[in-house]
Structure 1
Amino acid sequence: MVRQNLARRAALIDAAIEVLAVEGARGLTFRAVDARAEVPTGTASNYFASRDDLLTQAGGRIYERLQPDAQTIAASLAGPRDRERVVQLMIELVDRISAFRSGYLALLELRLEATRRPELRAVLTERIRADVQANIDYHLESGLPGDATTVVVLYLAMNWLVVERLTLPDVFGEDQVKDLVTRTVERILP
């Protein structure tokens, strides 16, 4: 087995995410990843057993990169535990996810590809289910208002808002996005 450089492996996965975002799942080839990562042709095939392996690894990496850092989590615990705090957290969430545009677009590509690839579907299902549960646990443990259903409904609403923002950015302006987040939270948490 070839001894692998973990930093290069991560760079290849990040390049795969960028290829997915720009070219879609059909454009994800080892050659395209090599070109995007600016490494010699054949490098990606030395790191990943198959294209399916690369797709699966990209799915996991996107979630690693979408996770807030420790400072963001600590800041989210500051202040009152009320509806206004939930609004602030949802605005920050939409902004943070939107800032990783290529990652979220790649995730959409992976979700579509998962309808045809059971192994990828299993990985994404496990990863997303864990993410939803972590959000529920965090919400409940932090003392924010609402229950598990509140978190799930916010998750669904914010995800689609991010899709609109990234795929059709002219549908809602920046001010409208913040207003929509506020009104959504107000309706879910009266």
Structure 2
Amino acid sequence: MVRNQARRTALVDAAIEVLAREGARGLTFRAVDAEAAVPAGTASNYFANRDDLLRQAGEHLHVRLQPDPDRLAVILRADRDKALVTELMKDILARLAHDRAGYLALLELRLEATRRPELRAALTATITRNLEENVRYHVDLGLPGDRTTVVGLYLAMTGLVVEHLTLPDVLPPDTLDDLITALVDRL
């Protein structure tokens, strides 16, 4: 396999865009090559097969969707209270809305994982690791709540994000901040 990391990242980003737009069934090497604007056959030089491409897209999505460290540093200057947790949840929604394609691709991968045991195992490991890191981060920062709080917020925010990014007219955008505040308050 070819080792040009910048090209590999560009191809994985192209795969994410294809997943978001076309779904898992539309994800082909040819579609990735076209999205990345590279010569036909390039993706097949970087990925052993479609399963490899799906797995690497899943791993890269979690890197792509992480918070900006500078933005996070600014947010974390606040007191360790419910208001800070609320701000962190609002930042999650803003980041995922900003990279809507990234989150929609993740939803597509989750659906595809129901049919592909290897992808399910890889995605489960990545998401479990990220959730445990979030729990540890929350507790280590001294934020209010415990593991159950973080898991509850994760589940609530997942539902809110799915609703907002897939059917944005169900919940008026001007109500989302108040909903997030209420979720944090109740959890």
What TM-score, normalized to structure 1? 0.95
Give 5+ residue unaligned stretches, structure 2: none
Q: State whether structure 2 residue 88 is matched by structure 1 residue 89.
A: yes
Deviation of 1:72 (Å): 2.7
- Per-residue CA deviations over 1:131-182 (Å, capped at 9, x if unaligned) read 1011101100101100000000000000110101110011112221111101
Q: State whether structure 2 residue 112 is matched by structure 1 residue 144.
A: no
What pairs up with 1:1-190 in 2 under 5 angstroms?
3-188=2-187
- Per-residue CA deviations over 1:30-79 (Å, capped at 9, x if unaligned) read 00000000011100001100000000000001000011132133223211
Say which SS state the counterpart of residue 92 (structure 1) adopts: helix
Greater shift, 95-104 or 12-21, is seen at 95-104
Q: Tell me the amino acid that sits aligned with residue 177 of structure 2.
A: K
- Per-residue CA deviations over 1:92-141 (Å, capped at 9, x if unaligned) read 11111121100100000000100111111111101100110111011001
Q: Tell me the amino acid that sits aligned with residue 145 of structure 2.
A: G
Say which SS state the counterpart of residue 80 (structure 1) adopts: coil
Specify whether residues 62 and 22 from structure 1 end up closer, same or farther in structure 2 by C-alpha distance, changes over 3 A only.
Answer: same
- How many residue pairs match? The answer is 187
Say which SS state the counterpart of residue 122 (structure 2) adopts: helix
Deviation of 1:3 (Å): 4.0
Separation in structure 1 between the aligned mates of residue 140 and residue 96 of structure 2, nearest angstrom: 23
Say which SS state the counterpart of residue 143 (structure 2) adopts: coil
What TM-score, normalized to structure 2? 0.97
| Residues 2 and 45, structure 2, Cα contact 8 Å, conserved in 1 | no
Deviation of 1:19 (Å): 0.3
Separation in structure 1 between the aligned mates of residue 143 and residue 132 of structure 2, nearest angstrom: 15
Separation in structure 2 between the aligned mates of residue 119 and residue 76 of structure 1, nearest angstrom: 37
Percent identity of paired positions between Structure 1 and Structure 2: 62
Give 5+ residue unaligned stretches, structure 1: none
Q: Tell me the amino acid that sits aligned with residue 116 of structure 2.
A: R
Separation in structure 2 between the aligned mates of residue 135 and residue 74 of structure 1, nearest angstrom: 16
